[in-house]
Structure 1
Amino acid sequence: MAKGSRADHSARLAAFSAGIRATRGGKSLDINATKLLVAITQADDADRLADELVAKGFRLTRLKTHGGFLRRENAAALIATTEDRLPAALAIIRQTCRARTVTWVPPFPDGIGGIGPAPMEIEVGGAVVFTIPIEGVELLGGDVAESLARTRAAGGAQ
């Protein structure tokens, strides 16, 4: 089966599936993941984190985020996993998202003359991880649900 092919996609989707009920258009499917990790990281760590998670068989969705104390770009990784793989995912996040020291120059208030605030050395990095139980999944649009159902009916990977 060619990597990236429709059959490969169906097999990977089926391998990811089998635990909670998902519905689409009245059809019901099983999805294996029981936990959703939302990992907020520094943008500097996002690519390496994604590479490490994928290398260990995790699937994720990355979102660019912005804000926080330094108003810098962050990244959020949405990682659906099973209870037994939760410690492995957290270990990868812990190893990949390290704290580091950076120089930060506080913003200078508008309309005030003189010398601005002194730069400060602060620690950034690491990750904030929320673990959320998955109670249900709704598959919307596309043919993902039908693809999964066909794969299962044909005796595909579980």
Structure 2
Amino acid sequence: MKLVIAIVHDEDAKALLEDLTKAEFRVTKLASTGGFLKAGNTTVLVGVEDERVEEVKAIISENCQSRKEMVTSPAPVSGTTGVFIPYPVEVTVGGATIFVVDVAEHLKL
């Protein structure tokens, strides 16, 4: 058995969860926050048999495509004086970061 951990953009999470559920995977959703833009992410946990890992990864890939967005640059943390004027920056958002780890033991009580 494997545990698939996928960190996805909040905007992609709803469709991803619907498709995983439709394919009869049991899914746990956790709210998380990204470090660079302090943007909302969703961490999805899927316990899956070894032979279905590729199916889970395919569903994630279908629902979580990366794309470009314009965002206001984050304010500097420290070391500046005066006025900070934010400016728009194009960044890549979306996509998914996926980890697949072995599960030593699985209990359902």
> What TM-score comes out, normalization by structure 2 length?
0.88
Greater helix content? 1
> What TM-score comes out, normalization by structure 1 length?
0.62
| 2:37–2:74 Cα contact (<8 Å) kept | no
Alignment correspondent of 1:11: none
Instruction: Between the two structures, name the one with larger relative contact order (CA 8 Å, sep ≥ 6).
Output: 2
In the alignment, the residues of structure 2 paired with residue 112 and residue 134 of structure 1 have an alpha-carbon distance, to the nearest angstrom, of: 51
Amino acid at match of 1:137: H
5 Å matches for 1:120-139? 120-139=89-108
Greater strand content? 2
Amino acid at match of 2:17: A
Q: Which runs of 5+ in 2 are unaligned?
A: none
**CA-to-aligned-CA distance 1:16-75 (integer Å, 9 cap, x gap):** xxxxxxxxxxxxxxxxxx000000000111111000001111111000001221111100
1:103 positional shift? 1.1
5 Å matches for 1:40-59? 40-59=7-26
In the alignment, the residues of structure 2 paired with residue 74 and residue 94 of structure 1 have an alpha-carbon distance, to the nearest angstrom, of: 16
RMSD: 1.7
In the alignment, the residues of structure 1 paired with residue 32 and residue 83 of structure 2 have an alpha-carbon distance, to the nearest angstrom, of: 34
* Equivalent residue in structure 1 for 2:31, among 42, 53, 64: 64
In the alignment, the residues of structure 2 paired with residue 77 and residue 108 of structure 1 have an alpha-carbon distance, to the nearest angstrom, of: 29
In the alignment, the residues of structure 2 paired with residue 68 and residue 41 of structure 1 have an alpha-carbon distance, to the nearest angstrom, of: 13
Which 4+ runs in 1 deviate beyond 2 A?
A: 107-115
5 Å matches for 1:59-138? 59-109=26-76, 112-114=81-83, 116-138=85-107
Q: Which runs of 5+ in 1 are unaligned?
A: 1-33, 145-158
Count of aligned positions: 107
